[in-house]
Amino acid sequence: MAVILSGIKPTGIPTLGNYLGALKNFVKLQNERTEDKFLFFIADLHAITVPQNPAELRANIKNLAALYLACGLNKDNLVLFIQSEVAEHAEMGYIMQSMAYMGEMERMTQFKEKSRKQETGVTTALFTYPALMAADILLYNTDLVPVGEDQLQHLELTRDLAIRFNNRYSDTFKVPEGLVTKVGARIMDLQNPLKKMSKSEDPGDKGCIFLLDPIDLIKKKIKSAVTDSDSIVKYDKANKPGISNLMTIYSCITGEDYKTIEAKYVGKGYGEFKSDLADIVASEIAKIQDNYKKLINSSELDEILDKGRDEATYLARKQLSKAYRKVGLGRKK
Ligand code: AMP
Ligand code: TRP
């Protein structure tokens, strides 16, 4: 049995990019690997490394929890929890900060990019973020971490910290592996296909599809996506980034490869392709929204999160106590 763990930050409403790049893959993994244990969490402590509006954050945490389940995860083989409800994450995060070097943290591309964007008021937590992420992973003897490509550097650091701890204090942590999915790895903005579709966009953004957008608006956004002017449905990321991105979305949802899609639209223009894609995306998201509506205000969601919190706490406490003991903290050997 392998332990598979991942987290998503509750910053904004999840997008079609989050769904195709992360959530849908979690569901697929869970269906394929029935022998394995799945832990997914809402990385709310990571969210506050940049300022958040408290009311919005509280709503986003709950929305994300409901959306994880609404996308089709099986709750019977799942520990779904909110990071801040398992205090061991912050505690183990501190142990990891005591293992990590300034130089290692300074090399993190995501920190460099985010602090450049932030300019003023870059928090110390934004800097030490990768140590908390290492803690998230190492608390559960995790084998596999499904993440986007942008997280691989953090995962490498997690491995380094685990190995360093094991060498210094004897074998304690399992050294985890990353799992990056190929297709759907990157969904681009519909208005600017050179930029990643991101949930940090303004909610009114036309280039970004949010999973809780009204279905009509989703269709409209697809139909008004930017494409080139030759009107030939062909996958060519370098020269035709707009249509290529739409084909990626099409392929991720239907499972058809690019050649099959190209063959289907020979002699037909972008209009017909976009109209079909609008229906395909709309029906996929409508299913998610139906499930979401049933869950969001239900006691079932709270029960799942309570159970997840309790199970995660049990596992995390064991691992944290072990790490404390090895380091020499606490009175008992
Ligand atoms: P974030 O929205 O950056 O917190 O990312 C949460 C998860 O969704 C990560 O696993 C990302 O790799 C994935 N993700 C975010 N945006 C996209 C996108 N545009 N295309 C594919 N995957 C994405
Ligand atoms: N840093 C990840 C992101 O930005 C979210 C995250 C936090 C995470 N802790 C994690 C992902 C542990 C996997 C495992 O997407």
Report pLDDT for 117: 83
Mean pLDDT of 8-12: 94
Report pLDDT for 183: 54
Confidence of residue 118 (pLDDT cuts 50, 70, 90): confident
The pLDDT of residue 108 is above 60 = yes
Report pLDDT for 332: 83
Report pLDDT for 120: 78
Distance 17 CA to ligand 2 centre (A): 15
CATH class of 215-294: mainly alpha
280 touches 253 (CB < 8 A)? yes
The pLDDT of residue 129 is above 60 = yes
Distance 132 CA to ligand 2 centre (A): 9
Confidence of residue 150 (pLDDT cuts 50, 70, 90): confident
The pLDDT of residue 119 is above 90 = no
The pLDDT of residue 300 is above 60 = yes
Task: Give the span between the Cα atoms of 136 and 90, in whole angstroms.
Answer: 9
> Computed over its alpha carbons, how large is the radius of gyration of the chain?
21
Report pLDDT for 185: 61
Ligand positioned closest to the Cα atom of 186: 1
Q: Is 59 exposed, middle or buried (0-12, 13-18, 19+ CB in 10 A)?
A: middle
Task: Give the span between the Cα atoms of 134 and 96, in whole angstroms.
Answer: 7
DSSP code string of 13-62: --BHHHIIIIIHHHHHHHHH-TTSEEEEEE-HHHHTTS---HHHHHHHHH
Mean pLDDT of 97-102: 98
Q: What percent of the chain has pLDDT over 90?
A: 88
Tell me which of 11, 18, 144 to substitute to probe ligand 1's pocket, judged by most ligand atoms within 8 Å of the beta carbon: 18
Beta bridge partners of 210: 15
Closest C-alpha to 62, from 39, 77, 45, 82: 82
Mean pLDDT of 210-222: 97
Mean pLDDT of 147-162: 93
Indicate if ligand 1 lies below 6 Å from the C-beta of 199.
yes
Confidence of residue 114 (pLDDT cuts 50, 70, 90): confident
To the query of whether residue 333 is one of the catalytic residues in this protein, the response is: no
Report pLDDT for 247: 96
The pLDDT of residue 64 is above 80 = yes
To the query of whether residue 196 is one of the catalytic residues in this protein, the response is: yes
Tell me which of 46, 150, 174 to substitute to probe ligand 2's pocket, judged by most ligand atoms within 8 Å of the beta carbon: 46
pLDDT in tens, 221-246: 999 999 998 889 999 999 999 999 99
Task: Give the span between the Cα atoms of 93 and 95, in whole angstroms.
Answer: 5
Domain 3-185+298-327 of CATH type 3.60.90.10? no
Indicate if ligand 1 lies below 6 Å from the C-beta of 147.
yes
Report pLDDT for 184: 54
- List all residues 6 or more positions away from 216 whose beta carbon is below 8 Å from its beta carbon: none
Least confident of 47-56, 103-112, 117-126, 247-256: 117-126
Element (H, E) at 79: strand 79-82
The pLDDT of residue 50 is above 80 = yes
The CATH 3.40.50.620 domain(s) of the chain lie at 3-185+298-327
Going by alpha carbons, the residue nearest to atom 9 of ligand 2 is 133
The pLDDT of residue 182 is above 90 = no
Mean pLDDT of 54-60: 97
211 touches 14 (CB < 8 A)? yes
Indicate if ligand 1 lies below 6 Å from the C-beta of 21.
yes
Indicate if ligand 1 lies below 6 Å from the C-beta of 22.
yes
Report pLDDT for 200: 73
The CATH 1.10.240.10 domain(s) of the chain lie at 215-294
